């Protein structure tokens, strides 16, 4: 069987295979602020913007700061499976100081989540599109080591 083509849900937000899953953002070389998703100019009002932004790959691991369970299908463009399966949503803070939200992959026991626990960025299939492509997104799951 031919392997399914894998495409990102948002182009340029997440590294794709064979690279390890990392969120792609940028950093202002003038003031040091990080941005995710990428911005075209620094958004820090106090920044003198004398130096350009640089592309960065964020740390894969961060700390869980909040989570919830989504019991209702989000509106389009979200592709909700039918029947809908509730899923967890996490907000984590990365060592670079930015907060990012993402789904929690299927199979993670949501009762096992604890605030401040270490989470890692993973790449999971969000849905399959009409052409049979696997659409990938970043998600966050507890670090198991």
**What's the first-to-final CA gap in the chain, in angstroms?**
33
| Residue of 116, 109, 122 lying closest to 64 (CA atoms) | 116
- Measured CA to CA, the distance from residue 34 to residue 29 in angstroms comes to 9
Residue 90: CB minimum distance to Zn ion, A = 28
Please check whether residue 138 is in contact with residue 121, taking contact to mean a CB–CB distance below 8 angstroms: yes
Task: Check binding of 125 to Zn ion (CB under 5 A).
Answer: no
Q: Which is nearer to Zn ion, 47 or 80 (CB)?
A: 47
- Which residue from 47, 89, 110, 135 is in contact with Zn ion, where contact means CB under 5 A? 47
φ/ψ region of 107 (left if φ > 0, alpha if ψ in -120 to 50, else beta) reads left
Strand partners, 139: 103, 122
Task: Check binding of 28 to Zn ion (CB under 5 A).
Answer: yes
Q: Of the listed pieces 20-28, 55-63, 104-112, 123-131, which binds Zn ion according to CB under 5 A?
A: 20-28
Residue 42: CB minimum distance to Zn ion, A = 3
Residue 138: CB minimum distance to Zn ion, A = 25
Task: Check binding of 42 to Zn ion (CB under 5 A).
Answer: yes
- Measured CA to CA, the distance from residue 136 to residue 128 in angstroms comes to 9
Q: Of the listed pieces 40-48, 74-82, 101-109, 127-135, which binds Zn ion according to CB under 5 A?
A: 40-48
Q: Which is nearer to Zn ion, 27 or 141 (CB)?
A: 27
């Amino acid at each position: 069987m031919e392997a399914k083509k894998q495409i990102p849900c948002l182009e340029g937000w997440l590294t794709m295979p064979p690279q390890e899953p990392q969120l792609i953002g940028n950093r202002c070389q003038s003031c040091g602020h990080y941005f995710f998703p990428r911005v075209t100019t620094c958004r820090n009002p106090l920044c003198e913007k004398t130096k350009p932004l640089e592309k960065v790959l964020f740390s894969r691991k961060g700390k869980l700061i909040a989570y919830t369970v989504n019991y209702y299908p989000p509106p389009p463009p979200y592709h909700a499976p039918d029947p809908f399966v509730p899923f967890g949503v996490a907000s984590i803070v990365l060592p670079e100081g930015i907060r990012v939200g993402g789904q929690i992959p299927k199979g993670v026991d949501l009762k096992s989540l604890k605030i401040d626990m270490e989470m890692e960025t993973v790449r999971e299939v969000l849905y399959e599109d009409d052409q049979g492509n696997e659409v990938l997104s970043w998600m966050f799951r507890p670090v198991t080591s």
